[in-house]
Amino acid sequence: MANPNDVETWIRARLPALLAEHQVPGAAIAVCVGDETVDFATGVLSRATGVEATTDSVFQIGSITKVWTATLVMQLVDEGRIDLDASVRRYLPDFVLADNAAAAAVTVRQLLSHTAGFEGDIFTDTGVGDDCVEKYVATLADVPQLFGPGEMFSYNNAGYCVLGRIVEVLRGASYDECLRRFLFAPLGLRHAAASPYEAILHRAAVGHLTAEPGAEPQPAPVWSITRSNVAAGAMLAMSPRDLIAFARLHMAPGHRALSGASVRAMRERQVDVPYLGTDTSWGLGWELFDWPGGRVVGHDGGTIGQRAFLRVVPERGVAVALLTNGGEVIPLFETVFAHILGELAGVTVPKYPVPSAEPRRVDATRYVGTYASRMAESTVGQDAEGRIWVDQRPTPVAVGLGMTPQRYELLHLRGDTLLAARAEAGVHMPHTFVGDDGAGHAQYLHTGRADRRLTR
């Protein structure tokens, strides 16, 4: 296997050209092998200002924040203050959902593993004060239950906001302060920001959005999602080297910030995920990848025009963090991680699936119908030629986050999984139809989130 210096040479030679090829304005990367870390940055932080990306620039890490939130929770487990299998109401007696029985039954473990079952894409803005997470959790009283707690996986941002509130209550401090006191400080982070007010003190990347396929990415009109979602990934930003410092905490069990038992527990399989392009499962905070060559743990993050990727091979002492601010980032991710993990850890990174040149026509009777969430209604239909289409209508909340109505074709991949014919950010989104409504129809359209079939 290659040494880190060879990989650094490859990165410096290839990354600028890859950014140009995939219209990515700027990127920063850090790679660690054992005790050694190398990093590199290229491109610009904003096309409006032309400020160059540097290795100490901070990019938003989006939902990778969830692993940080899970780590804060596991620190409290280490202290004997949280029981993972206890009801959330042990720590938040006023926790409510539309389904009171479900709210009483949901456990901390189920929140950590995205199996709590209530709708998760809730982005209610409850202000910028230190009480915003508390106020946010109180708004969940009308959030519906998609399935019973523990029954299956459905990615849940709101669940991580609830976890953030548990941390706040038990620590007696805001989520931001808990990050700084219990992770930033013990890890010795120098270029990390828990809020926009801290990010402005660093060279901060700006997200870029693409108005239509093939267009040049342009700076986003806003920097971050609402603070109320901070524990799920709304605004945490850092350099890739600092993100690697966090990854080291999860590669060297026994660090004073987290016990070896908790490090191992976070990597234990909790639930399998419906096929979404690569076969994966979920631990406590971590996504688990059983890839050829070894077990990999990781998480991705996406905010407004920024995408982040973290992969860790604990048994080999290898971790890679790539932070970007727009463009066709999935092909960039595939190329960079395939080379680095292959060279340093002997791991093969599977490519995301692409449609067959001659996709098989299938009877879509099982799939046809309307599936809904707080973000959109997606109506699946099949035309006279046998082609399968999705008409997606975003809700007003989603429109406010930049979603627009769209119509796209689905092409058969395998089993009950179909692929979007049109790629977004370089990936053809898998759509897997799961469950049965008792009348021969799929009960859920699963794209990482389980959108439930409407019965109207």
Active site residues: 63
Residue 149: what residue type?
A: P
Give the phi and the psi of residue 273 in degrees, each rounded to 5. -110, 135
Residue 158: what residue type?
A: A
- Give the H/E segment covering residue 84: none
d(CA 118, CA 134): 18
Residue 7: closest CA among 35, 34, 32, 44: 32
Strand, coil or helix: 105: helix
Place of tokens 């850092």: 238
DSSP string, 3-17: -HHHHHHHHHHHHHH
Give the phi and the psi of residue 96 in degrees, each rounded to 5. -135, 150
Structural contact between residues 229 and 159, judged by C-beta atoms closer than 8 angstroms: no
Structural contact between residues 142 and 262, judged by C-beta atoms closer than 8 angstroms: no
CB atoms within 10 A of CB 305: 25
d(CA 88, CA 296): 30
Ramachandran region of residue 404, left (φ > 0), alpha (ψ -120 to 50) or beta? beta
Strand, coil or helix: 319: strand
In this structure, the chain runs to a length of 456
d(CA 370, CA 442): 11
